[in-house]
Amino acid sequence: MNFKIALIRGDGIGPEVVEEAVGVLETVGARFGHSYEWIDVLMGGCAYDAKGTPYPEGTKEACQRADAVLLGAVGGPKWDNLPPALRPEKALLAIRSDLGLYANLRPAALRPALKAACPLRSDIADKGFDLMLLRELTGGIYFGERKRYQTEDRGEEASDLMKYSEMEIERIGRRAFELARLRRKKVVSVDKANVLETSRLWRAVMHRLAAEYPDVAYSDMLVDNCAMQLVRDPSFFDVLVTENMFGDILSDEASMLTGSIGLLPSASIGDRTPGLYEPIHGSAPDIAGQDKANPVAAILSAAMMFRYSFRLAGEAAAIEKAVDLALSSGCRTADMAGSGAPLGTREMGKIIRGNI
Ligand SMILES: NC(=O)c1ccc[n+]([C@@H]2O[C@H](COP(=O)([O-])OP(=O)(O)OC[C@H]3O[C@@H](n4cnc5c(N)ncnc54)[C@H](O)[C@@H]3O)[C@@H](O)[C@H]2O)c1
Ligand SMILES: CC(C)[C@H](C(=O)O)[C@@H](O)C(=O)O
Ligand SMILES: [Mg+2]
């Protein structure tokens, strides 16, 4: 088959890890008989530098015309003092929203070769874990009205509005139950219903849905407790569904249990639009341009593209096996190397390609 893939290489380590993911896609293409049309799309700080805006005209349309989008990361200190509307992160939120990508799948699994890298107690690490964090991606506090104004007697004041509709909660909730049916049939919904009204609505909708999926075990959990339960024993979780900001924070936490944030991929999916695939990590300005970044998260994002956009599970599994083989033969980038000698980004990518 021929796939049209939009590439948003982005900033910092973004271009470095996307390059390795593209190499892996090419290798999988050669092995399984697929070809690609690559469409380079400008977005983020690099787009601001080139065009004066992080989200140039035509970026959205180019992504809409593609079969899938692969993104590295955007942002970095160079652009941190721009006005909010010109910040690279604003473009990231815009593309997610414009493509209707409300469901963000962030799998966090302890890869067999990395048990020793897991910071949890050894008896817990030995059990392993494999959870799917499902993050609502186009609503909540990320998209509510923001204000900043001067008061008469309290100095400056700022507010960010957190808002959710039943429709937004129901569609992500259904995704959670459907995903759980393909896994271990367990959903934990994470909220802050002891304080937030949005969470009380979230919980009410989830309970209504749970009644429609009696074959799936359902429970609620408060987000502070969830942060603790994740580091106590992540094997408790199968599908964890939560709102936008809680999902952002909990997924970085979960990543470290797998050994490094450089390992975790994500898929952002809507109803009828191309999916967007990206590592959960950022542009890592501290290591950018040094051939130090771990390309595995981007490479596993390419595997998710095969699984969720192209519905080709064999190709996805081939990539995942190639990553596991590299890890079990001791290949480690600096973020995972401990006191051992680390491999560079390009070398790691080359070994994974060779394993396919
Ligand atoms: N999807 C995205 O585009 C995205 C996601 C998160 C952060 N960001 C942006 O990235 C910039 C930096 O953010 P941050 O420093 O808070 O988070 P970050 O994820 O970029 O980096 C956090 C730490 O993890 C390390 N790290 C991240 N990815 C790695 C990899 N693949 N291999 C090895 N080490 C890795 C970094 O070196 C750093 O020490 C900010 O501008 C932020 O807004 C973008
Ligand atoms: C860069 C930032 C806007 C983004 C988010 O918060 O969604 C990032 O942290 C992520 O996890 O993809
Ligand atoms: Mg994040």
Q: What is the CATH number of the domain that holds 302?
A: 3.40.718.10
Ligand 1: centre distance to CA 215 (Å): 38
Structure tokens at 328: 């079990």
Residue-range definition of the domain harbouring residue 320: 1-109+260-356
Is 11 annotated as catalytic? no
Residue 88 assigned as binding residue:
yes
Last-in-domain residue among 242, 257, 272: 257
Report yes or no on 323 lying in a domain: yes
Residue type, 333: T
Among candidate residues 11, 55, 192, 277, the one labeled active-site is 192
Q: How far is the CA of 278 from the centre of ligand 2 (A)?
A: 11
Q: Which of 238, 257, 276 is the last residue of a domain?
A: 257
Same domain, 249 and 281: no
> Domain check: are 126 and 216 in the same one?
yes
User: 112-115: long-range contacts at Cβ-Cβ below 8 A with a sequence spacing of 24 or more?
Assistant: 112/324, 112/328, 113/324, 113/327, 113/328, 114/258, 114/259, 114/263, 114/327, 114/336
Token pair 């939560």 is at which residue? 242
Q: What is the ipTM, given to two decimal places?
A: 0.99
- Catalytic status, residue 186: no
Nearest to 356 by CA among 303, 311, 304: 303
Structure tokens at 203: 């919980």
Which residue lies with its CA nearest to atom 26 of ligand 1? 284
Exposed / middle / buried, residue 288 (Cβ in 10 Å: 0-12, 13-18, 19+): middle
Residues 33 and 83 occupy one common structural domain: yes
Name the one residue in this structure whose structure tokens are 């271990």: 184
Is 135 a member of any domain? Answer: no
Torsion of CA 252, 255, 256, 260, to 10 degrees: -110
Same domain, 331 and 269: yes
Residues with CB under 6 A from ligand 1: 13, 17, 73-76, 89, 92, 261-262, 278, 281-287, 293-294, 297, 335
Residue 72 is assigned to a structural domain of this protein: yes
Predicted pLDDT of residue 338: 80
List, as one string, the DSSP characters of 288-355: TTTT-S--HHHHHHHHHIIIIIS--HHHHHHHHHHHHHHHHTT--BHHHHTTSPPBPHHHHHHHHHHT
Same domain, yes or no, for 234 and 274?
A: no
126 with 233, same domain? yes
Alpha helices in the chain (DSSP H): 14-32, 45-51, 59-65, 88-98, 122-127, 166-181, 197-212, 223-232, 244-257, 296-304, 313-328, 334-337, 345-354
Phi, psi of 293 (to 5 degrees): -70, 145
> Looking at ligand 1, which atom is closest to the CA of residue 44?
3
What's the CA gap between 140 and 245, in Å, rounded?
8
> Are residues 176 and 291 both part of a single domain?
no
- Residue at 44 is within a domain: yes
pLDDT computed for residue 150 by the predictor: 98
> CA 15, CA 72: separation in Å to the nearest integer?
6
In this structure, what token pair is assigned to residue 324? 């596991």
123 included as an active-site residue: no
Residue 2, Cβ neighbours under 10 Å: how many? Answer: 9
Q: Does residue 114 fall inside a structural domain? A: no
Q: Is residue 302 part of a domain?
A: yes
Instruction: Please report whether residue 92 resides in a domain.
Output: yes
Cβ-in-10-Å burial (0-12, 13-18, 19+) of 122 comes to: exposed
Residues 285 and 188 in one domain: no
pLDDT in tens, the chain (356 residues): 999 999 999 999 999 999 999 999 999 999 999 999 999 999 999 999 999 999 999 999 999 999 999 999 999 999 999 999 999 999 999 999 999 999 999 999 999 899 988 999 999 999 999 999 999 999 999 999 999 999 999 999 999 999 999 999 999 999 999 999 999 999 999 999 999 999 999 999 999 999 999 999 999 999 999 999 999 999 999 999 999 999 999 999 999 999 999 999 999 999 988 999 999 999 999 999 999 999 999 999 999 999 999 999 999 999 999 999 999 999 999 999 888 899 999 999 999 999 99
Domain finish residue from 222, 257, 292: 257
| Domain-located, residue 136 | no
Same structural domain, 125 and 238: yes
Cα(68)–Cα(308) distance, integer angstroms: 10
Residues 267 and 244 in one domain: no
Instruction: State the Cα–Cα distance between residues 280 and 90, nearest whole angstrom.
Output: 16
* Nearest partner of 124 among 228, 226, 233, judged by Cα: 233
Pick from 285, 240, 259, 195: which is nearest to 104 by CA?
Answer: 240
Q: Identify which of 352, 258, 216, 231 has the alpha carbon closest to the alpha carbon of residue 296.
A: 352
Which among 90, 130, 127 is positioned nearest to 108, based on CA atoms? 130
Give 248 Cα–ligand 2 centroid separation in angstroms. Answer: 6
Total domains in the fold of the chain = 2
Same domain flag for 74 and 3 = yes
Query: Are residue 94 and residue 208 in the same domain, yes or no?
Result: no
Give the residue from 247, 205, 242 showing the smallest Cα distance to 221: 242
